[in-house]
């Protein structure tokens, strides 16, 4: 998503330091961290947080071990050129 607007705000130095620390931990720029936090805060109630998948597929069918092995064999067969089915 292109960023086409800017906002200038004054915040306490302690908050800036906290945001910078979180940005470093998450491998983001300060601007990226602020954008991430604002998107999270502005999301509608009950909406999944951006980048969060825990619980997103709750209640959906879970593949069995047999299904996972079958798909894995088919994918690896395509990658290696062998004919697993």
74 located within any domain: no
**Which pair of structure tokens corresponds to residue 40?**
């999270």
In-domain check, residue 64: no
**pLDDT tens digits for range 43-60:** 788 776 666 667 777 888
Six-digit token pair at 6?
């800017």
Q: Report the predicted TM-score, pTM, of the whole model to 2 decimal places.
A: 0.53
Structural domain contains residue 24: yes
Report yes or no on 37 lying in a domain. yes
The whole domain housing 14 covers 7-49
Residue 17 located in a structural domain: yes
Residue 18 lies in a domain: yes
For 13-42, write each residue's pLDDT tens digit. Answer: 999 999 999 999 999 999 999 998 998 888
Report the domain count for the chain.
1
- Please check whether residue 36 is in contact with residue 28, taking contact to mean a CB–CB distance below 8 angstroms: yes
State how far the Cα of 70 lies from the Cα of 67, in Å rounded to an integer.
Answer: 5
Q: Look at residue 76 and tell me if it is in a domain.
A: no
Task: Give the separation between CA 18 and CA 21, rounded to whole angstroms.
Answer: 5
């Amino acid at each position: 998503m292109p960023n086409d607007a800017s906002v200038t705000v004054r915040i306490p130095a302690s908050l800036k330091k906290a945001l910078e620390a979180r940005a470093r931990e998450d491998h983001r720029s300060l601007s990226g961290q602020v954008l991430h936090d604002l998107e999270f805060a502005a999301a509608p109630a009950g909406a999944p947080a951006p980048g969060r998948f825990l619980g997103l597929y709750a209640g959906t069918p879970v593949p069995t071990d047999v299904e996972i092995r079958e798909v894995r064999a088919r994918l690896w067969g395509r990658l290696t050129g062998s004919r697993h089915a």
